[in-house]
Amino acid sequence: MSVEGAEIAPSFRSALRVLRPIVGDAAIHAASTAPTLERAQLRSDPPSVSACDAVEPPGARRVAPASTPTVAAFLDGIQRSRVVGHVRGSPLVFGSVAAVIRQREQRRLDTWDAPRVHHALYASRAGLGDDTWAQLEASGLPLRDVAEDTLAEATLTHPMAVRAHALVQIANERDRMERALAADWCRREQRWLWIDGGIAGNAAVDAHATAFGVVKSHRTLYGTPALVRAVLMLREAERSPTFLVVHRGRRAVVSWYLRLRETASGDPLHGLVRVEVAPSNAVRDALHLDDHTRDAIGAQATQLSSWILAERRPLSLPDPRWDTLTYGVYACESYLKALVGS
């Protein structure tokens, strides 16, 4: 697939052809059939409950879905990483990262601007040795040394350490790409953008930006134990009170929970999302807010929640995350998988 403005070469398949003389046929066959490292990776961080600063008083708020879709576009990114071989016991990880904004035009989703796509080979230069590193550089593949910033050579003798650090660098590249694309939208557009994931790390998504983030995973739940229990008991089309989340090293965001749909099984996380918006400087720096500011924050949360509820159809089946994966984000993922593979 050729996409104007997107860096799509070398693809995973073309990279395998280039690497065949270096790692051998058996390794290439294994790489072409193995699952991605993202699928194989197990989360090590335990689930947790984190404190936050309440903006509105306790109690669920019923939200009426908007009668017509108002969100103009959706932003999402993906990453795919595979071990394509080993040299001197040190792994070579091929990583692909892509991000796109799909905008609604005449009831269809089209690509806004151009998708961002990046491919590179991640490896330990010390582990491979200078001769192999020079051979890889001569191949023309974009090459990244996983140890160039922090890790000691002794640590990188463990192949799992190389894989883990490669995954961190690939995830960071995806984050940079998504933030840059969101910044471009916020600079050029006044229409509303739905960003898949949080927005705390993107300074361009400020109080004046027409963008919000929707978080689908809940390894961390925010609030006191009593407030978290209230969140888990939200009914369909109800939102929680708003609260302020302070991230270490990042600016604070105003956030709230919203139940998109319920399930007969009673799973408390089914259909539950958390929304993030950028607050004004006054909200970011002060916990003692006047009633007018609290009311304005609550009104915005209700408005955005109504827009989000309007996006519940069509369902994103057969994806198993259909209860929280709205179709606009699903369409972004499907488009990106066509660029970089599943």
Q: Name the most confidently modeled range: 60-64, 196-200, 266-270.
A: 60-64
Tokens 């209700």 -> residue: 302
CB 223 within 8 A of CB 208: no
The pLDDT of residue 148: 72
Helix (H, G, I), strand (E, B) or coil at 65: coil
Its pTM stands at: 0.87
Q: Distance between CA atoms of 144 and 293, rounded to whole angstroms? A: 47
Q: Distance between CA atoms of 305 and 297, rounded to whole angstroms? A: 12
Q: 197 versus 5: which is more confidently predicted? A: 197
Q: Distance between CA atoms of 17 and 74, rounded to whole angstroms? A: 35
Averaged over 186-213, what is the pLDDT?
90
Poorest-pLDDT segment among 54-63, 69-78, 106-115: 106-115
Would you say residue 316 has pLDDT above 60?
yes
Two tokens, residue 300: 């915005």
Write down how long the chain is. 342
- Tell me the Cα Rg of the chain: 22
Neighbours of 109 (CB within 10 A): 18
Would you say residue 3 has pLDDT above 50?
no
Q: How far is CA 160 from CA 51, 92, 147, 155, 163, in A?
A: 34, 11, 13, 10, 5
Helix (H, G, I), strand (E, B) or coil at 128: helix
Mean residue pLDDT of the chain comes to 87
The pLDDT of residue 43: 56
- pLDDT for 86-110, tens place per residue? 999 999 999 999 999 999 988 789 9
Kindly state the DSSP code that residue 10 receives in the 8-state scheme: S
Q: Distance between CA atoms of 98 and 6, rounded to whole angstroms? A: 9
- pLDDT for 166-184, tens place per residue? 999 999 999 999 999 999 9
Tokens 């300074």 -> residue: 203
Please, which residues have CB within 8 angstroms of residue 175's CB and are 6 or more apart in sequence? 201
Nearest residue to 86 via CA among 120, 42, 132, 119: 132
Q: Distance between CA atoms of 334 and 106, rounded to whole angstroms? A: 20
Would you say residue 308 has pLDDT above 90?
yes
Q: 249 versus 298: which is more confidently predicted? A: 298
